């Protein structure tokens, strides 16, 4: 492999990463992948002597680093908001995000029941997450839906729900949360939230009191 071909591969790799970053629904993923792509582009520009290309992409690197720092340092507001099945916004939410719901929770169909727990997770006053669970047994909650809208899928809502706000469930006598992973992506999310995998894609989280 000659030097020219190596430089072309580096350039194509950087272009691919920048393009991929623009398809990310998560702002965090967009910034991280864009940072890597712009960094490689900076090196590429220096290697081929295209200093304006290197300078522009180095500036993009600085921008990405700044916003990543801001995202990490920012103190965000989270709150659970109980909602009733008859709520109009709740109905519109389910209708609007139906394609996304079927993508991550194939076959999901909301059916109101007496033992359900339903709430929105507000993130900076935006209803960014919707949780639906059904009480099963004395201390177990079965998750029917744990959905986060695009742009907020950076695990912060999940960590708030299952780690920082576990007292919410404990106050209702719930000590175990069970769910089923319908997709591989959902399975990875559950593992990051502390759920333990069982048989037939079943997962269980035991809350620390």
Residues 6 or more apart whose Cβ sits within 8 Å of residue 83: 89, 90, 118, 119, 120
Domain extents in the chain: 3-73, 78-206
**Phi/psi of residue 201, nearest 5 degrees:** 65, 25
Cα–Cα distances (Å) from 126 to 73, 80, 147, in that order, read 19, 11, 14
- The reported pLDDT for the residue numbered 1 is 65
pTM of this prediction?
Answer: 0.73
CA distance linking residue 108 with residue 122, whole number of Å: 22
Which of 135, 118, 134 has the alpha carbon at shortest distance from 80? 118
Homologous superfamily in CATH for domain 78-206 = Gcn5-related N-acetyltransferase (GNAT) (3.40.630.30)
Can you read off the two tokens belonging to residue 6?
Answer: 């190596």
Which stretches does DSSP call E strand in 26-183? 78-82, 116-123, 126-135, 140-148, 176-180
- The reported pLDDT for the residue numbered 114 is 85
- The reported pLDDT for the residue numbered 24 is 86
pLDDT tens across the length of the chain (209 residues): 678 888 888 988 999 999 999 988 778 889 999 999 999 999 999 999 999 999 999 999 999 999 999 888 878 899 999 999 999 999 999 999 999 999 989 989 999 988 899 999 999 999 999 999 999 888 999 999 999 998 888 889 999 999 888 889 999 999 999 999 988 889 999 999 999 998 888 999 999 76
């Amino acid at each position: 492999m000659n030097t020219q071909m190596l430089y072309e591969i580096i350039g194509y790799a950087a272009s691919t990463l920048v393009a991929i970053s623009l398809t990310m629904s998560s702002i965090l993923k967009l910034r991280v992948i864009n940072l890597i792509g712009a960094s490689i582009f900076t090196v590429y520009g220096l290697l081929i002597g295209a200093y304006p290309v290197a300078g522009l992409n180095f500036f993009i690197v600085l921008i990405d680093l700044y916003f990543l720092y801001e995202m990490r340092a920012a103190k965000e507001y989270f709150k659970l908001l109980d909602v009733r099945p008859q709520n109009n916004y709740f109905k519109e939410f389910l209708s609007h995000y139906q394609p996304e719901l079927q993508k991550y929770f194939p076959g999901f169909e909301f059916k109101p029941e007496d033992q359900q727990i339903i709430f929105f997770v507000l993130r900076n006053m935006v209803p960014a997450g919707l949780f639906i669970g059904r009480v099963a047994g004395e201390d177990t909650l079965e998750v029917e839906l744990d959905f986060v809208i695009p742009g907020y899928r950076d695990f912060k809502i999940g960590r708030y729900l299952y780690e920082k706000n576990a007292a919410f469930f404990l106050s209702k006598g719930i000590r175990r949360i069970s769910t089923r992973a319908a997709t591989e992506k959902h399975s990875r999310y559950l593992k990051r939230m502390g759920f333990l995998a069982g048989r037939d894609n079943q997962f269980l989280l035991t809350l620390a009191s």
